[in-house]
Structure 1
Amino acid sequence: MVDRQYTAWRLYTVLRVRSQDWGGSIVVHQGMDNDGMALAVAANLCGAVFLGLEPDPAQARVVMRAGFCDFLVNTLDEALRAMKNEVRKHRPLTVILEGDAAAHRAEMKERGVYPQLQVIREGEEPIPTGRVEELSAMLATADAAHSLLAMVVTANSNAELRGADRAIAEIIPEGDPRRAWATGAPKFFVREQPPRRYVWLDDPELEAMLAVLPAGLTIEPLSHSAY
């Protein structure tokens, strides 16, 4: 079973380690499968503008219906119009660009559209950009990003999970980069079964969480490295 939230959480962690401020940055990824959707969420919660290149119109609409993008377009001009103001205002946005990804990348290169980060898969040729990283390599570094405790909160219902989300948001202090995940992830992951939330905590935060955790919910150390 693919756990899209788990992948998004790990990618969010890596992006936050790379930079505390992604506002005004463009992140590009080719292919909007589960990994692409997870990266879109991670980039959005970090404050970046995300551009996903998806050659399959049917898959692009899956992403749109699932609520993982703000705009679905089929020309680079349309994508840039949607992205321009959000980049300037340092606000997050997710745009999916349908069509031939290689042609779109060639047009981006020709027009001098250089993202701050392009996440690629093995064998892909990146367009000129400030930074290129392989998605698999990013995921491989996520678990060693810091020494906090990797935990998963599991609930019996979405209503119970909302209570846990509020508790997590209250425990994590203002200004902590984990807070954007705690407050933003619930907007994207609302239909998962069982209802769950991944979170990094230190020992005092874990004790505080255990003290306020509603009956019926569990919080456990994360024992797997991937689904």
Structure 2
Amino acid sequence: MSQEFQLQRRTLRMYGELVSREPSWVGKLVVSAGAGAAASGLGAATALAGGCCLLIDADKDAVRGEYRDGGVDFVVNTLDEALRVLKNELRQARPLVVALNAEVAPSLSEMGERGVLADLAVNATGVPANEHLQLGERPTDTLKAWLLERDWHEQAVEHPMELTLAAEDPRFAWVRGIARYQRSASRERRVLWLSSAELLSYSSRVL
């Protein structure tokens, strides 16, 4: 599988982990910190779910690469800058992804001192947050149950814009928005979830 689709799969899973817990993340802050945080796909996933995301990563090259690909809206070097940008977008209920290119431990310590409290911390136990979520290589039971309930299965789909999806369907935001946050992704193919019936119907139209 190409690197492009590995990133899409990882981001789709992150998106699923969010929306399976809360349909909308508008006005909420998700934080991740540590090596690989910027390139995890969490930023794009959070923004597509409507929320704001702060990614704390000391790897300058990874942060710059994610910014070039569209996965990060702003790159800053201090927590003060990050909070200033995020505060306004949270208040306005608009999605935003900010990468803080700084050492993790001092940044987390400063967050605690300033009383910053995230709604969700992902793979970052030291982040002050209402809820912590540790993600491994496999989907959580919450996500698996959510997909099973809908009979949704991961598929690579050609011409995804031809799919008829309701605006409230979480796949609607994914199909139409992921290219903004992953410019390297093909606009003609998407990894997304389809039910067994949808897959049969879609296949019959495009073959």
TM bracket (short chain)? 0.7 to 0.9
Task: Say which one has the larger Rg.
Answer: 1
> Aligned to 1:6, what secondary structure does the other structure show?
helix
Of all paired residues, the percent bearing the same amino acid is 32
Aligned residues: 201
Aligned-pair RMSD on alpha carbons? Answer: 2.4
Aligned match of 1:198: 191
Once the 2 structures are TM-superposed, how far is the Cα of residue 41 of structure 1 from its aligned partner? 1.2
Q: For 1:22-171, what aligned pairs fall within 5 Å after superposition? A: 22-31=25-34, 33=36, 36-120=39-123, 125-136=125-136, 139-141=139-141, 142-147=143-148, 148-155=151-158, 164-168=159-163, 171=164
CA displacement, residues 132-178 of structure 1 (integer Å, 9 cap, x when unaligned): 010218733334432223142355xxxxxxxx12112xx22221122
Contact 2:71 2:182 in 1 (8 A): no
Residue 166 of structure 1 aligns to which amino acid in structure 2?
Answer: M
Aligned match of 1:223: none
Runs of 4+ aligned residues of structure 1 deviating over 6 Å after TM superposition are none
CA distance in 1 between counterparts of 2:8 and 2:129 reads 27
CA displacement, residues 2-43 of structure 1 (integer Å, 9 cap, x when unaligned): 511101111111210110120111100013637843111111
TM-score by length of 2: 0.86
> Aligned to 1:146, what secondary structure does the other structure show?
helix
Aligned with 1:178 (options 171, 181, 199):
171
CA distance in 2 between counterparts of 1:38 and 1:27 reads 12
Judging changes above 3 Å, is the alpha-carbon distance between structure 1 residues 36 and 30 closer, same or farther for their aligned structure 2 residues? farther
> Aligned to 2:126, what secondary structure does the other structure show?
coil
CA distance in 1 between counterparts of 2:179 and 2:160 reads 7
CA displacement, residues 34-65 of structure 1 (integer Å, 9 cap, x when unaligned): 78431111111001100000112222212211
Judging changes above 3 Å, is the alpha-carbon distance between structure 1 residues 128 and 188 closer, same or farther for their aligned structure 2 residues? closer
Contact 2:43 2:97 in 1 (8 A): yes
CA displacement, residues 100-126 of structure 1 (integer Å, 9 cap, x when unaligned): 111011101100010000011xxx542
